[in-house]
Amino acid sequence: MIEDCKFIEFPQKGDERGHLVIIEGNQDIPFDIKRVFYIYGSDREVIRGRHANYNSEFVLINVSGTSKVKVDDGTSQKIFNLDRPHVGIYLPKLVWKDMYDFSEDSVLLCLSSEHYDAGEYIRDYDRYLTVMKEEKHVKTP
């Protein structure tokens, strides 16, 4: 599952007036966008996220400043540095995510495949590990 977490580079258009980045659901990212939110005003010591989702997929893009995202599938971890406004990371469902090390000017844009539903969040890491063990057991013949 951790191998499914990957960078996505979005096309840039621009001229002397500046840059334009276009992101379309089911074209530039692998899902229809149902929710958009962003995080700003966090500092380097703050850790956001700390959860996994049963159903939601995400694309995270630092449209301003920088941040890091640590992803975890219960067996492996990977850290992504978000530092370019035309590059995001795709996170499939059931990936634990921690966003941290925010620069002062960081604005982290989050595109989601699902509308908000508090019931689909796994916020306890031990519970997440249990869910992942159950998921792997189901997939094993």
- For residue 137, indicate whether it is catalytic: no
- 51, 86, 115, 137: the catalytic one is 51
C-alpha separations of 117 from 4, 35, 48, 122 in Å:
23, 11, 18, 11
Residue 36 DSSP SS3: strand
CA distances from 116 to 34, 49, 59 (A): 9, 14, 15
Both tokens assigned to 71:
């992803």
Active site residues: 51
